[in-house]
Every structure is written in C-alpha cells, then in structure tokens.
Structure 1
C-alpha cells in the first residue's frame, strides 16, 4: 500500500527528508527475497525488525522536520522455515506502519497538510516565537478534541507515534516511544494490535481469570501523561521482567514500573527473590521535566539519568525553548535497588547528555553484597543532536573556544570518499552557517549546508561510570572517564550478557574522526566498532585516566584502523565506499558443547551483527533516491569484525532510522493470542459533519 503526500521539491530542501532519509511510501506484506553468501543456522526461524520514524504526511513540513519525528514504521526480515523442508529457509521481507491513534486520525483527515503533532524542531528552535509554539501545541489539542466528537472515524486517545524501538516481553512484541505506552504488534506480519497498559492489550482475547491490576498511568486527569514510557524499556532475560520509567513535566517527574511475566512465561524464567509488580512508583529527588531517553538496569539495580536537558512547556515562561540544555547544571544519576525506587541515591557530576546506555552491571564485595553499580553510556558534552537533527544551528557550548587549526569532520557529518571532501566544520571560522534553504546538494546528494556546530568542546564517547554504594552516607562516583577518544553511538551488547558485565560493546561511528556531537548532522554510518571493555578497564587500572575528561585509548579512528595487532581492544568494520549502515543487533552463535548444559563456557563475541545497509550509488544527481533504490540486510561475523557472512537483497529501501531487535523462533511461536488487529480506516462517508471537519482541518493546515 502506498501513501502519497510528500512534496519532492520541499523534501529536497531538508536533509532529513531527502536521500535515504526520505520516508518510503509503500508497505510490504511478507514477500520472499533472495540472498548471497551463507545464512548462519542461528537465523533459522527468527526475525530481525527495525523501528524508525517515517512521516506519512509531510507535504508542508518545511523547516519543521526532525529526524526523531514521523510515524513509526517497522521493517523486518523473517528467516522462515520452508513449509516443505524445515532445514531450508524461505526468507521474507515485511514492512508496516505502526497504526497509532495519530496515524489513523491523520489518514482519516486527508485535508491536514502537516502532522498532528508539533515537530521536535519547532519545540527546540530558538527562532520559534512563543506565539508559534503555543499555536502548534493548541492546534494539536484542538485536532485531538475534534477526533472525539460524534461522527469522527477514530478518536485520538494517545499521542505516541511508537517510532523508537522494538522489544519482546511476556509473549508480546512491543514498539515504543516516549510519548505513550508501548504498542503491541504481531510477528512476523508486523500488524498493529493495540496499546499495552501494563496488563492487557486491546485486541487480545479477554482472559477468564483476568485480575484487576493497576495500569500504566493509573487514573485521574494526568493519567495520560503518567503512562508516557521510555523509548528503551529493558527486559531481564533471566527473570522475564520488563523494567521501564515514565518521565513527564509534572511532579514527581519520574515514575517507575516493573512488570513480571505472566502465565506459562513465568516457568521459563528465574524470578528474583523479592519479585513483585510495580506500577508508576515515584522516584523521589528528580529535579524537573527532562528529556530522558534511556536508563540503566543491572541484575539488582536501576540507574535513572537526571541530566540538564529539560523538556517542559514551563520553559516558555522563562523565554526558553520547550527543550533546553543547561550544561552548567550538574548531571545527576539516581541509583536504587530494582524493587525499591524509594531508596534512590543521587550521584552528581559535570553536566552532559546521554541518549543511549550500553551496559549496566553490579560489583560485589567479599560477602556477596552489591558494592558498586557500573554504567557504560554514550556521553555527549553538548546537546547539538537535538538541534542538528532538526536542521537547526546548535547554540554555542558555554566552554566553546575558537580553534585555529583545521578541525576534523564531525561525527555523522555528510561525507564521501572523494579527495575534495567538503565538511561544514572545515569552513573558515568567520563563514556563516548555510541554512537548508541555501544548501545545494553535491553529486552524491550530500548537502554542504547542514547547520554544524563548530564547538571544539563537543564529544560523544563510550564512557564509564562507577557509583560506589559502600558508604551509607556519601554518594561517590569513583570512576568516570572515556574508554576511547573516537565518537560512537547506538551501542549494543550480546543478550547473553545484558544487565551483567559485558566484555564486548558494539557501536556505530564514521570513518572521519571527530569531536562533534553524535547522531545529528544527517547521520550516515560507515563504521562499526567493537570495544573490549575488559581489556580497556584493565589498562585504566595501570594508567588511570583523568577524571571526567580522561581517555583510556587516545588513538584516532585512522590509527585504530591501521593497527595490525590481533589483540587490539578496539576493532572496526568499515563499509565499502558510499555504503552506509544502521544500528547493529547482536545474535549469539549457538553455544558449543552440550546444548543441555547452559553453563557451558562460550566466547562472548561468538555471534553475528545484523544491520541494514544502503548503497548511495543509487542516488540521482539531485541527491534523491531513484525509484528502484533498494537496501540490504548484512550479517557480519562479530569475532572477526571483517567477514560478511551473507547479504539479503530487499525489495525496497530502508530509510536511515533508529533501533532494531532480534526475535527468536521460539518467541515468535509463543506470542499471546490476538483477536483483532488495527486497520486503516475505510473511506469516510460524506456527511455534513465530515465536510465541516475537513474544512476545519484545511484551515488548520
């Protein structure tokens, strides 16, 4: 099915609506695909799914577009066993929109030219007037209210676009986003079932022994806000518990939920000794409404990130954007036992931004008590991503110093492999930044007019924190430093070591070293990095880095790529020229030795990385994707970080997006029953009310 509503002329003007960032308009039911190479047996029966924003209505977006906007679209490859031979695979591709309330209402309201929700770019842009921001918010409220009046085909009850991540818990695959609860989908068809309220999902058959349990958000006038859930809930593979937090701009600001598995799924997990269900428990001590995207969860503890990046309409009263970064304020980390958020302990240090954590684990004393909690995260020293991913010139960092030397290219900046690389950060310091309206794409579609911050203070590094719990009266961060100087984002670990001390962390980078902030700047990934965390932390014990600003490994990415040391703690995989990837997901190789003995020793890096790849040779002279442009799914050997085992050819392209996950054959088979799935609305009947409503929407734009 295709959706037409994109103005190609307008899309070319915005870096996040052009090239392979542009949304796709066609969806695919499970369709057989071909591949080259050898399919590892670990893929048999499983499915890789990636989520990401794909704005369906964007004809009049103009400046108001942000990479984090857009309706959720799921793109998956299912390694189905052949019905005629279980040892053969019938590999199929499928992609579907997440049919949220907002998307369904948008489809019904054909005269709406811009999305129902205001863009993140509108809320962060310092140039947005107070009147314009209030108008965009009130427009959303008005459209939502209209959808509840008699005669409307679909009422908007939740404003989430479910476009961030995807995970599996208690027999359900769930799509997530900060602005609402998780949304259930089916595997392998990727059909939308309904919102998960912490107990049940609309569209599932009602259980006869259903218990009346509290739901996410609870009741009351602010319940819709309290059910806003992190885009990165955590699932404990040992206990089966779903751990998530809810952040809003109303006190207590952050609430916490822990949902154990139910029914037959309980038998497959080892429940913790004091396992119990927690719904919307307050985390005391948070300083206000924040843009909290991720958090850390270990076997016994949870870490909440209260960082100086606020998200609150109350900022407007201070003449600040709804989203504002205040790096002079401290970063605060709330550590508490997983079952006891009321026992939170707050640790403070220098201000920063963290959008993604990589690994969290407990350290024990001689008596087996937790003595410290360690956290690995991608730490940014500026919030440029929030601005540059919306094509907005980032404000200067308070510690910015003009740099005379030629600066290296920023992380995820546009680039190619030609000799005459053009980098906005290498422009003369007095040169004005070019707005998207003036940008002219080069022959590869790489616009040289992206708004790049030239702050030398910007970094995005894999960073290590250690929060000591040994003292009952003092909260001390005993270690805080970067493992390496190279910029990385989108970290991942093996599911076998999640919430434990993972030796290997995998992340994304570029072939051009940088001190620029991660994610933004029309991010295009052509490097995957593997860190041997154990080796780097051992090195840090021998030569301790400076606190906060120190680095264990100060090499550039070029120096790392030139290394011939087989035991180098940092290894990289570089994509072929003009090929760009997305976040990788780790799939463990089947354990060697007895399949019955789960304690059999295994190499943690023994497995595969799967990720989507796009060849930008498929762009035309204007930097737009050709109509027949297609992506591939690559399977990389994680031990060698060099051998691509196979490449699956897809029938369409996959826009550069956000987060993915691997679903096993067993998980697909053990999904809870579904009674009804969501569907696109039928053609609206031509009534007086529908004509009035279309007229109102037309005036709203």
Structure 2
C-alpha cells in the first residue's frame, strides 16, 4: 500500500493519468464547420482526477479521484455567424478536495479506494476507514483548509435541473457549479444550494436526524423528465429500508393543483440488503429500481466477504412502481447480472382503457461483475459454482426488458415477458435524444471497444474505439417477430467486424470507427434546432491520439485532446474538430447545456474557493497536533 509498484497502474498512466493544470475559458482553434445550433451552448464532462497522487503504488480504481469538470463553450463571436470555441477545466471544490489540496502530509487520498473495498482483507479496510475518520475529525481543527462535512468527490455525472448545473456522485448530495466557468457554488439539498442565500429548515435530501448524512447520498445518475422537468433520484444506504426515493419539481414549471411539492426520502420497500446501485429506469409514469446481487455492505467483512461483493448464484430483481407511489412496487426476478447504466425506459398501454400496462427498459447488461474489478486493474475473485442455467459468456450488451404489470389483487406473480440483447457488439455509456427520453426513443447511442467483452478491455484501461448507434425500435420489433432465446439470446448476432462491412444505409446497427491509435469518450447527442428526424443532430465527444505517448506509454507534456462533432445520422462524417489547449484524461459522464439553460441559471451569492496559506492558522497547539498526526498516518 505504501511502496511504489514497478509497473505503473493502468489508471494512472497514459491518458488516464491525472492532469495538474486547470484553465479558465481559453480560446481554441478548429477545422470544419461548427453547427450554428451549438452557438452559446456548452459541452461538459466529469471524471476523477486525483489531486493527492504522490503514492502511485496505492490501491486505485477508475471510479476514484477528485471530480474535474472539462468543458467547451461555443461562444457567440462579436461578428455575426462566427462561433468561437473556448476550453475550460476546473476541479469540483468538494470538502475532500479543499481539505487535501496542497497538503503535503497526505500521500494517498483521504478515502479508501474502491479497489481496497473490492479486494482487501477486513483488517486493511478497518484500518483504512479508521484513518479516514481520524482525518475527517482533524479537519475540524485549526490548520485545516476545509472541514470535511461530506465525503463525496462529485466525480461521476453532470445534470441540469431548475436553473442549476449539478455534479453528482453516490457518496453525497449533488453539488452545484456555474456555467460556463465551471466554478463550484455548493452542495444542493433538493431545495437550495449553498451560497444561494439562507437555507430554509424544511429539510431536503436526507432530512434530519442521526442518519441524515447517509440518506442524502444521491445516485450518480438522477433523471430529469423532459416534459414535467421533475428531477427523480434515489438514495441507497446501509440501513433498512436500504433505498429511499426523491422527486424534486422545477420551481419554474407550472405545478399541478394536486402537486404537494418536493417529495424527499420516500422509502422503497422490498430491497433486502445494502446494494451497489448506480442507475435506475425512469419512464413518464413509472420508475424501475434495479436490485442486483452486487452488494455494498459493511457487514460483508463479518461474513468473510469483501465490502463490495458479487454473488452469481443470487437473482437479479427489477422493482417497477408508479412514479409517485413506491409502495405499489411489483418485483420481477431473473438471472444474475450487473447493470450500471440504463439507456431508456417507457410505457405502453396507458392511454387505452382496460389495456395492459407494460413498462419497457433498455440497459447495458453485463453477465458478471468483472468490470468492477477490471476498472481497478484487479483479478476477479474465484466465486462459488454458478448453476448451469445462469452460465453466460462474458459480455456487455444493449439489452431489452418488458415488464407487464399485473393486478395485485388477482394474486398473479409478475413475470418478465421479454429479456434479450439487441446486438452482440459490446455497448456501454448510452445516450439518447434528450427530448425523447422516457418515451419510446428509436435511437440509442453509445460506446464500444471493438472486442467481444467490454470488461476485458477495461483491465488495460477503457479504450473506446467505436461509437455505436442502435435502432432500438427496429431491433425490438425484429425480436418480437422472431424471438431469440430468452435471457441469453440476441436479436442481431453480428460482431463489430461484420457490422463494419455492412453497406446498408438502413442497417439498425451503425458504428463510427476511430482512426487507428485514436480513442473517444462518452458521446452526447445534441439535436438540430428543428430536427427532421429523431437522429437529426450531432454526437460530441473528446478524443485523444495516443501517438502522443512516449516509449514508456506516458503522455508527453505537450499532448492535447480534441473535441469532435460527428454527424449522428450517417455516423461517418466529422463535421468539426476543435483542438484543445491540453489533453483531457479518459473520464466518465458528460452533458450538453443549451444557451437558454446557461442564461437561466439561478442567482447565487458566492462560489467556493481555496483558502490560502495566509488564511490558515498553522501555529496554534491544535494546529500543530493536527499536522503531526497527519504526517504520522499519511
């Protein structure tokens, strides 16, 4: 844990390595034609960028690291019709970041790595947690740059709701930042953010009481309804009922007469133990909670398991309930799997009296938890024997479920009607046209590695060699007309090479192949102002040319990335390439913020900032004691 490893960690080397420089809005150059619809908007991506990075031999996971926002603003030029792209990147100034910044005593991050929770013996985890608790307590003493009240690093997603741009992570509430400069404003509780004036005492995420700090932990992927503008989220915790649920309306959207306002911490019944939950499904009228055999339970150590543990002999469960009535949840069970990201969710049968209501869900389904270990450069542990009916080849595919709801008074057990993959190519990091989310969107965009398994590629660092476009409507119709094998079946069985050979303009699977040595990141779909079709728009993604690596596989100091704008209809044309002033490490999730959203941000009083050395009392006895203990425990 404390020594340097001979070989660099794959997630601390190459273009995964953190960068040290941040920039305010900086003019960029480019080639091609930037679509006028992008004028005034901004593309922003979140991801982990460890600031405490001295001990590179420590446990490390791709999902660790302090949140860093990286954006390109499509600024309207002074001369008519000209768009001037500007690059900006800033750390999310969380409590963890502000406390550790420039603290030479800390040789590794304050929090234990996810890799430690996946692989270390109980005594190591206990020591790591105890160290974190000591450092959090020390943060309250003089000499600390920031008291640590919340442990989130806010490094996962970005979302816009009710005049606020928010960065997210499972271990805390969202934190607000300001567009386009990406300055951090403060933690958001569902009612207000810090530095927006006096917070009321009505409570928000987490409520009040001893366990409020835990119940405010908000999923990395809250969803915003494109029609009602409500923000829907859940909160996974370590104590019963294990999952809570929140709905936050927009104050700028006309409320229904019966709308009671925000609903916080509604218990979701039926989850039997703490789980690692990253995403969920949200349709216009229903929500789907995903309860998988992937646990995140401190009590696992007592049972001889790691804190994060996967049991391939347990069932996966999907809980479907009306948006405002979690107590009416219906549970559907099936074979074990792992799902980190949902692509879309919608209903059928709602407008026809007496018709069957069916909830449909598209997810990126993995057949094991190997991706969790691969993203930490770990070898998955030997698991208990898997029943033959659960055995599947290693894969991560775009997968379809249909959940016909039953009349609970009839005593009929809910059963999944359809469950199969749409395509055999590896598929992750999904995105849809924002206006078509929570309805039957036809097109799903995402990433592929080009191999047979997304998880295997992650062990060497996730390298996105293809962007994919799936005609989900066509593939689902084909699957219903000619049903593949339930659970293990697949509608389109072609691999990447076969899809690339296709010349059919109406092929339901299309791939954009990166040039050799170039790799992309999660794309974001941006529609044309008046789209002729659902896919009439562009994909935006950061890309990197790995010929900029030296003979040891490390990035040269002058390495840079680009932002590519790709035609989302034909998945061939690069409309514009914007050369950035520095590289953008491979990261996680992105979002597009329109010119109107940037203009309509809520006012605030101040932003968070780093305290200078002159502002910190380093001479008091308590400060000296804090400094001494920090040096001792590293």
Q: Does 1:73 align with 2:73?
A: no
1:395 CA drift (Å): 2.2
3-state SS of paired residue (1:629) = coil
Residues in 1 aligned to 2:357 and 2:491: alpha-carbon distance in whole angstroms = 24
Give matches, 1:485-496, under 5 Å: 485-496=424-435
Q: Which residue matches 2:587? A: 657
Residues in 2 aligned to 1:555 and 1:149: alpha-carbon distance in whole angstroms = 61
Give matches, 1:403-482, under 5 Å: 457-472=393-408, 473-482=412-421
Picking from 592, 607, 623, the partner of 2:553 is 623
Q: Does 1:13 align with 2:5?
A: no
Q: Which residue matches 2:541? A: 611
Residues in 2 aligned to 1:532 and 1:634: alpha-carbon distance in whole angstroms = 22
Residues in 2 aligned to 1:266 and 1:300: alpha-carbon distance in whole angstroms = 18
Mean CA deviation greater in 33-42 or 272-281: 272-281
Q: Give CA-to-partner distance per residue, 1:322-376, whole Å, 9 cap, x none.
A: 0000121110111111111111111111111000000000111532866110000
Q: Is the 8 A contact 1:274 1:339 kept in 2?
A: no
Residues in 1 aligned to 2:462 and 2:382: alpha-carbon distance in whole angstroms = 20
Residues in 2 aligned to 1:606 and 1:619: alpha-carbon distance in whole angstroms = 36
Q: Is the 8 A contact 1:11 1:22 kept in 2?
A: no
Give matches, 1:44-123, under 5 Å: 44-82=39-77, 84-107=78-101, 109-123=103-117
Picking from 263, 269, 276, the partner of 1:291 is 276
1:193/1:466 Cα in 2 relative to 1: closer, same or farther (>3 Å)?
same
Residues in 1 aligned to 2:326 and 2:6: alpha-carbon distance in whole angstroms = 45
1:391/1:211 Cα in 2 relative to 1: closer, same or farther (>3 Å)?
closer
Residues in 1 aligned to 2:103 and 2:520: alpha-carbon distance in whole angstroms = 35
Residues in 2 aligned to 1:566 and 1:80: alpha-carbon distance in whole angstroms = 35
Structure 2 unaligned residues grouped into runs of 5+: none
3-state SS of paired residue (1:266) = coil
1:456/1:474 Cα in 2 relative to 1: closer, same or farther (>3 Å)?
closer
1:231/1:370 Cα in 2 relative to 1: closer, same or farther (>3 Å)?
farther
Picking from 560, 567, 583, the partner of 1:637 is 567
Q: Give CA-to-partner distance per residue, 1:410-466, whole Å, 9 cap, x none.
A: xxxxxxxxxxxxxxxxxxxxxxxxxxxxxxxxxxxxxxxxxxxxx973111111000
Structure 1 unaligned residues grouped into runs of 5+: 1-6, 402-454, 593-601
Q: Does 1:359 align with 2:344?
A: yes
Q: Which residue matches 1:248? A: 237
Q: Does 1:395 align with 2:387?
A: no
1:277 CA drift (Å): 2.0
Q: Is the 8 A contact 1:385 1:518 kept in 2?
A: no
3-state SS of paired residue (2:273) = coil
Q: Is the 8 A contact 2:219 2:278 kept in 1?
A: yes
Q: Does 1:375 align with 2:375?
A: no
1:519 CA drift (Å): 4.8
Q: Which residue matches 2:618? A: 686
1:695 CA drift (Å): 1.5
1:486 CA drift (Å): 1.2
Residues in 2 aligned to 1:518 and 1:399: alpha-carbon distance in whole angstroms = 25
Give matches, 1:129-144, under 5 Å: 129-144=121-136
1:516/1:217 Cα in 2 relative to 1: closer, same or farther (>3 Å)?
closer
1:479/1:59 Cα in 2 relative to 1: closer, same or farther (>3 Å)?
same
Residues in 2 aligned to 1:532 and 1:162: alpha-carbon distance in whole angstroms = 33
TM-score, normalised to structure 2, is: 0.95
1:517/1:372 Cα in 2 relative to 1: closer, same or farther (>3 Å)?
farther
Residues in 1 aligned to 2:403 and 2:501: alpha-carbon distance in whole angstroms = 35
Picking from 173, 180, 188, the partner of 2:180 is 188
3-state SS of paired residue (1:314) = helix
1:153 CA drift (Å): 3.3
1:259/1:521 Cα in 2 relative to 1: closer, same or farther (>3 Å)?
same
Residues in 1 aligned to 2:605 and 2:355: alpha-carbon distance in whole angstroms = 46
Q: Which residue matches 1:699? A: 632
Q: Which residue matches 1:309? A: 294
1:467/1:662 Cα in 2 relative to 1: closer, same or farther (>3 Å)?
same
3-state SS of paired residue (1:501) = coil
1:678/1:516 Cα in 2 relative to 1: closer, same or farther (>3 Å)?
closer
Q: Does 1:231 align with 2:167?
A: no
Residues in 1 aligned to 2:618 and 2:480: alpha-carbon distance in whole angstroms = 73
Mean CA deviation greater in 85-94 or 222-231: 85-94
Q: Which residue matches 1:673? A: 603
1:101/1:681 Cα in 2 relative to 1: closer, same or farther (>3 Å)?
same
Q: Give the number of aligned pairs.
A: 624
1:184/1:332 Cα in 2 relative to 1: closer, same or farther (>3 Å)?
same
Mean CA deviation greater in 502-511 or 157-166: 502-511
3-state SS of paired residue (1:541) = helix
Q: Does 1:484 align with 2:476?
A: no
Q: Is the 8 A contact 2:218 2:233 kept in 1?
A: yes
Residues in 2 aligned to 1:396 and 1:457: alpha-carbon distance in whole angstroms = 16
Q: Which residue matches 1:257? A: 246
Q: Does 1:544 align with 2:531?
A: no
Q: Is the 8 A contact 1:487 1:518 kept in 2?
A: no
Residues in 2 aligned to 1:398 and 1:551: alpha-carbon distance in whole angstroms = 27
Residues in 2 aligned to 1:111 and 1:10: alpha-carbon distance in whole angstroms = 20
Residues in 1 aligned to 2:483 and 2:375: alpha-carbon distance in whole angstroms = 35
3-state SS of paired residue (1:153) = coil
1:88 CA drift (Å): 2.0
Q: Which residue matches 1:22? A: 17
Q: Is the 8 A contact 1:381 1:517 kept in 2?
A: no
Picking from 344, 348, 351, the partner of 2:333 is 348
TM-score, normalised to structure 1, is: 0.86
Q: Is the 8 A contact 1:399 1:457 kept in 2?
A: no
